Amino acid sequence: MKIWIALVLATFAVCATGQCPQCSTMKWAMCDVPSCQCSLTMGVNVHQPLNCTALVPKCFLMKTEMYRAKAGLSTRSGGKPVESAFVDNDGIYDPDCETTGAFRAKQCNNTDTCWCVNSAGVRRTDKGDASLKCEKLVETYWVRLQLKHKAVSTPLNSSVLQSAIATAIQARYFLDLTHVKEEVQYDPDARLIFVDLKKEKTDRTTDLSRVAYYMEKDVKLDPLFLEQARLTPVVNGQTVEMEDILVYYVDVDPPTFTMKKLTGGIIAVIVVVILAVVAGLLVVFLARRREQKYSKAEPREMEAL
Ligand SMILES: *[C@@H]1O[C@H](CO)[C@@H](O)[C@H](O)[C@H]1NC(C)=O
Ligand SMILES: *[C@@H]1O[C@H](CO)[C@@H](O)[C@H](O)[C@H]1NC(C)=O
Ligand SMILES: *[C@@H]1O[C@H](CO)[C@@H](O)[C@H](O)[C@H]1NC(C)=O
């Protein structure tokens, strides 16, 4: 009898672990028998069903990461595609999601401080209190990805690199190539690759933020995919590894940060520039002094000889 029960349990265990395929687009998902529906644990007893043939909505991913107490994103900096473009300087928060996985327009991170976000979940207004009104979710229709690749031994052929990147975006992130609008740009000296993902301003089905978020994880942390291979395009047999990524968001309506906040950032940049200039001058000054010392010392040494 005991042996029989053990056998039944063992068969059950094999079925439970062996029956369902895993979720290829989300490494943390659980796919349980008998339905094999994969779901993501986003909170205590919050199990979000997933479609594993598509990228998981960014809102669900952020919620999961907060739940899993993951570290925040690193601070990012760089140049803009248009004046109204902005980057995510806040990092991660615990978002409120619609059942579809879309971000709610107003986010409060479980506090009394709230702000309005775009469809990529990135803050686009100043922070306010709980009474803040966010009329609608403003769509992000253009995302610029600025990738920096690691140093390579032989220079990369830019046309081959450009098509390798475009192909990777289609194959890895399931994004139709029609959304890679302008040609992929490449600056070999700076090792920078610029990719512009765009959609029609009225398009509410294509979600560019998922592609950007999966790519950020691929470059900065670990891939969200079950398969942990990195985003490494191969150019003429040479594997190109990425070392950094910066994402710009362009919304259908420009963001409404006040100038007060923006000048804070500009002042900080100016201070850094001034510090760099002062440091540079100091180096030049010290080098000159040393030179002078040497040139003064030399004749005396000559005399001594
Ligand atoms: C899952 O995503 C794929 C790709 O976007 C889509 O074609 C399919 O209809 C989705 N399935 C469900 C059940 O929503
Ligand atoms: C959200 O709250 C968490 C703590 O619960 C904090 O670590 C995080 O920085 C907050 N994020 C933002 C964008 O305010
Ligand atoms: C780059 O590759 C393309 C296509 O393979 C080729 O036509 C072109 O001549 C190459 N350019 C250089 C500078 O090697």
Q: Is the pLDDT of residue 10 over 70?
A: no
Calculate what percentage of the chain has a pLDDT beyond 90.
57
pLDDT-based confidence at residue 60 (cuts at 50, 70, 90): very high
pLDDT tens, residue by residue, 62-119: 999 888 864 343 323 334 566 677 777 778 899 999 999 999 999 999 999 999 999 9
Q: What is the CATH number of the domain that holds 198?
A: 3.30.70
Same domain, 247 and 148: yes
Tell me, what's the pLDDT at 157? 92
Pocket test for ligand 3, best of 154, 156, 160, 161 (most atoms within 8 A of CB): 160
β partners of residue 31 = 38
- Note the pTM of the prediction, 2 decimals: 0.74
- C-alpha 47/C-alpha 25 separation (Å) is 16
Task: Select from 232, 252, 272 the last residue of a domain.
Answer: 252
Q: Is the pLDDT of residue 5 over 60?
A: no
Residue 49 burial (10 A CB sphere; 0-12, 13-18, 19+): exposed
Q: Give residues with Cβ within 8 angstroms of 211, minimum separation 6.
A: 55, 143, 169, 173, 175, 197
Mean pLDDT over 147-166 rounds to: 92
- C-alpha 208/C-alpha 225 separation (Å) is 17
pLDDT tens, residue by residue, 227-243: 989 999 999 999 999 99
Q: For residue 224, what are the domain limits?
A: 140-252
Tell me, what's the pLDDT at 289? 61
- Cβ of 103 less than 6 Å from ligand 2: no
- Cβ of 115 less than 6 Å from ligand 2: no
- C-alpha 128/C-alpha 112 separation (Å) is 8
Q: Does some domain include residue 181?
A: yes
Task: Select from 51, 70, 89 the last residue of a domain.
Answer: 70
Helices (H) and strands (E) in the chain, counts: 5, 11
Task: Select from 25, 51, 70 the last residue of a domain.
Answer: 70
What is the three-class DSSP state of 85?
A: coil
Pocket test for ligand 3, best of 157, 160, 161, 167 (most atoms within 8 A of CB): 157
Q: How far is the CA of 94 from the centre of ligand 2 (A)?
A: 7
Q: Is the pLDDT of residue 283 over 50?
A: yes
Q: Which ligand has the nearest atom to the CA of 49?
A: 1
- The encoded tokens of residue 131 equal 């009474």
Number of structural domains (the chain) is: 2
* DSSP class per residue in 267-291: HHHHHHHHHHHHHHHHHHHHHHHHH
Residue located via tokens 């920096």 = 148
Tell me, what's the pLDDT at 281? 61
Mean pLDDT over 16-24 rounds to: 78
Q: Which ligand has the nearest atom to the CA of 72?
A: 2
Q: Which ligand has the nearest atom to the CA of 114?
A: 2
Q: Does some domain include residue 236?
A: yes
Q: Does some domain include residue 217?
A: yes
Q: Give residues with Cβ within 8 angstroms of 278, minimum separation 6.
A: none
Mean pLDDT over 135-163 rounds to: 93
Q: What are the CA-CA distances from residue 124 to residues 68, 78, 107, 119 (Å)?
A: 26, 18, 11, 10
